């Protein structure tokens, strides 16, 4: 009897296992092939200098390893700060004599020219905006009267607020991305060789990705741009029609700055305010496409009826497997707990033998 119960128990367990295998995929754990986990943001340094209260632009130096340039938001004079990318300490201050209005972005081209973008316009009433250029110094030391150049620009469709300047690495082509509190902003291109005489006309290139865009930078490959919002960073595949391909979270705060990071595939992000922290984050990457089935280069999408039939068939099979497992579990329970009638009779007979009692006469059912 014990062998029978054991065999039935094994059979029931097998059916239960099959039922578990047949459960819908949504109840399974995530596949390990889903891709590597994005590293958490890493705080690199804190800008503690009292002169920097509203860091609104950040750019990696070309001539000085480990140095980042930053500027204050509106209300400051014409100056930029060289900040150590490890300690956050200011190594030099460069002052230029321009009367700035609302500096919101910063960039450095391949030749080591610093671009200071006076492009903020909260009320959207400026007739033109300005971009100033100064050279990166050979040595990091304070300079009080740096020679600068000024370039004036205007939009083709009226005034806009903007906080993002992009400099294409290979050509030093300039782009401005406007900031929109409602709807989406736009990407505008400067002339390939802007003039310092007169006003340069910007041309609208494309709509910007969604979000309130506060800064941006080209990556060194020139094929991608990273745009910053208050809450996240977006990777954009650059072309005549820029296309957002990936988005990732960034440290919270009034996110205002983004710059090329110290390692490949990373950027630095910062925020406004005193003692602002600067973090290294991974550039959001486009998810790898899944491998298509080998049986067909272009899989035929399933129709609604096919999908329903397949789901119905799976549900039908699953239902019978579960019912079968339940029945066998019931049989095992009946056989095992409590003991069967035959076992009870055997134990009663053994007790009668030991006590000298006569076995009870079985009652026969009377037939009418």
Per-residue pLDDT at 335: 47
Mean pLDDT (the chain) is 79
Structure confidence at residue 203 as a pLDDT band (50, 70, 90): very high
> What is the percent of the chain with per-residue pLDDT over 90, rounded to a whole number?
60
> Could you tell me which residue, 194 or 329, shows the higher pLDDT?
194
> Could you tell me which residue, 18 or 279, shows the higher pLDDT?
279
- Of 159, 157, 211, residue with least CA distance to 184: 211
Residue 141 has pLDDT above 80, yes or no: yes
Over residues 224-235, the pLDDT tens digits come to 999 999 889 999
> Could you tell me which residue, 333 or 256, shows the higher pLDDT?
256
Asked whether 181 and 211 are in contact (CB, 8 A), the reply is no
Cβ neighbourhood burial of 61 (10 Å; 0-12, 13-18, 19+): buried
> What is the percent of the chain with per-residue pLDDT over 70, rounded to a whole number?
67
Per-residue pLDDT at 255: 85
Asked whether 233 and 284 are in contact (CB, 8 A), the reply is yes
Per-residue pLDDT at 199: 98
Per-residue pLDDT at 28: 31
Chain-centre distance of CA 138, in angstroms?
A: 38
Over residues 14-49, the pLDDT tens digits come to 443 344 333 333 333 333 333 345 678 899 999 999
């Amino acid at each position: 009897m014990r062998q029978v119960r054991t065999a039935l128990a094994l059979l029931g367990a097998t059916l239960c296992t099959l039922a578990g295998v047949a459960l819908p995929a949504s109840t399974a754990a995530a596949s390990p092939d889903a891709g590597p986990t994005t590293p958490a943001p890493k705080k690199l340094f804190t800008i503690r200098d009292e002169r920097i209260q509203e860091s609104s632009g950040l750019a990696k130096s070309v001539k000085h390893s480990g140095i980042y340039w930053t500027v204050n938001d509106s209300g400051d004079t014409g100056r930029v700060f060289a900040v150590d990318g490890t300690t956050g300490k200011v190594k030099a201050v460069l002052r230029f004599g321009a009367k700035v209005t609302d500096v919101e972005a910063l960039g450095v081209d391949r030749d080591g020219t610093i671009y200071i973008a006076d492009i903020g316009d909260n009320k959207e009433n400026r007739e033109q905006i300005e971009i100033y250029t100064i050279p990166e110094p050979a040595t990091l030391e304070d300079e009080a009267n740096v020679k600068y150049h000024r370039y004036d620009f205007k939009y083709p469709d009226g005034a806009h607020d903007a906080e993002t300047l992009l400099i294409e690495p290979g050509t030093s082509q300039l782009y401005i991305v406007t900031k929109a509190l409602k709807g989406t902003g736009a990407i505008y291109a400067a002339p390939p060789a802007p003039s310092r005489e007169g006003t340069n006309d910007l041309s609208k290139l494309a709509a910007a990705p969604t979000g309130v865009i506060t800064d941006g930078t080209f990556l060194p490959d020139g094929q991608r741009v990273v745009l910053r919002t208050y809450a996240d960073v977006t990777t954009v595949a650059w072309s005549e029609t820029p296309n957002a391909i990936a988005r990732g979270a960034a440290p919270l705060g009034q996110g205002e700055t983004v710059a090329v990071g110290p390692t490949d595939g990373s950027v630095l992000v910062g925020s406004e305010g005193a003692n602002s922290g600067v973090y290294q984050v991974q550039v959001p990457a486009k998810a790898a496409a899944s491998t298509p089935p080998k049986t067909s280069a272009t899989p035929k999408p399933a129709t609604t009826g096919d999908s329903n039939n397949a789901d119905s068939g799976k549900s039908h099979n699953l239902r019978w497997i579960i019912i079968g497992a339940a029945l066998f579990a019931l049989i095992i329970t009946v056989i095992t707990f409590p003991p069967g009638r035959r076992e009870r009779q055997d134990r009663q007979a053994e007790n009668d033998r030991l006590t000298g009692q006569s076995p009870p006469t079985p009652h026969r059912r009377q037939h009418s």
